[in-house]
Amino acid sequence: MKNILFIAPPAGGKGTQSNLLVENYGYVHISTGDLLRDVDETTLLGKKIREIQASGHLVDDETVFELLKEKLKTIKGHHFLLDGCVRTVKQANIMEELLTEIGLSLDIVIELDVPYDALLKRATGRLSCPRCKAIYNKFFKQPFNEGICDNCGEALVLRNDDNEETFKVRYDTYLKNATPILEFYENLGKLVKIDGINDTEKMISEKIKND
């Protein structure tokens, strides 16, 4: 099994594939967003992070990776997948150094390749249940009764920001930020591009098992 970093465009299916790896293979899913939200405020590091956030500033890379380092130290013996932990080439370099320092490695970087039109339909067709949090899509996964959640009968909602204009901005931002990161990992020989539409789960399974 291999330690993984996922890189995918908005609505690219990263969350779905991450959940499958956790359920099927026991991966530890690590998101810097989750780490920051769930930080232990009784520790010195936790207090520092809350003070930075309370001031209205973004938590700096050094502090975020210090938090990530502490998390990684607790999961030795388990394979991990990283989500949202690398957003710049600078952070990619820091990640490589951090993992080497604590005796771990990032074995494979998986880019989920999904055509723009499919991404757009995934994003703009998304319907969610405000009660049980179930997700549907008016193009791909419609509820049995239009506009009604199959699980709990609640009326489904479409988020205001799930529109084509907003999605295009998010997608263009992703391309701008992700391209140099993908090049960085390609130069390290770690990048693998996987079809995010057909047999995605099967292809990921094959890649994480093969040496």
Task: Lowest mean pLDDT of 54-58, 144-148, 198-202, 207-211, name the range.
Answer: 207-211
pLDDT at 100: 94
Enter the pTM of the model: 0.85
In this structure, are residues 6 and 180 in contact, taking their beta carbons and an 8 Å threshold?
Answer: no
The residue from 69, 71, 170, 193 that is catalytic is 170
Query: What is the helix, strand, coil percentage profile of the chain, to 5?
Result: 45, 15, 40
The residue from 2, 122, 126, 190 that is catalytic is 126
Compute the distance between CA of residue 93 and CA of residue 74 in angstroms, rounded to an integer: 22
The residue from 73, 133, 159, 209 that is catalytic is 159
30 pLDDT higher than 90: yes
Which helix (H) or strand (E) segment is 141 a member of?
none
210 pLDDT higher than 80: no
The residue from 2, 14, 122, 190 that is catalytic is 14
Closest among 26, 104, 103, 96 to 65, alpha carbons compared: 96
Structure confidence at residue 57 as a pLDDT band (50, 70, 90) = confident
Closest among 32, 4, 9, 33 to 20, alpha carbons compared: 4
Per residue in 159-200, pLDDT (tens digit) is: 877 889 999 999 999 999 999 999 999 999 999 999 999 999
In this structure, are residues 105 and 99 in contact, taking their beta carbons and an 8 Å threshold?
Answer: yes
Q: Distances in Å between the alpha carbon of 156 and those of 102, 125, 129, 131, 167?
A: 46, 12, 5, 9, 20
More confident residue, 191 or 134: 191
Structural domains in the chain plus CATH codes:
4-114+171-209 (3.40.50.300)
User: Cα–Cα–Cα angle for 111, 59, 18, nearest 5°?
Assistant: 30
Structure confidence at residue 76 as a pLDDT band (50, 70, 90) = confident
Question: Over the chain, what is the mean pLDDT?
Answer: 91
Residue 126 is among the residues annotated as catalytic for this protein: yes
Q: Distances in Å between the alpha carbon of 152 and those of 18, 130, 131?
A: 25, 10, 8
Structure confidence at residue 65 as a pLDDT band (50, 70, 90) = very high
102 pLDDT higher than 60: yes
Residue 159 is among the residues annotated as catalytic for this protein: yes
211 pLDDT higher than 80: no
Residue 190 is among the residues annotated as catalytic for this protein: no
Residue 74 CB partners (closer than 8 Å, separation 6+): none
Residue 170 is among the residues annotated as catalytic for this protein: yes
Residue 37 is among the residues annotated as catalytic for this protein: no
In this structure, are residues 186 and 93 in contact, taking their beta carbons and an 8 Å threshold?
Answer: no
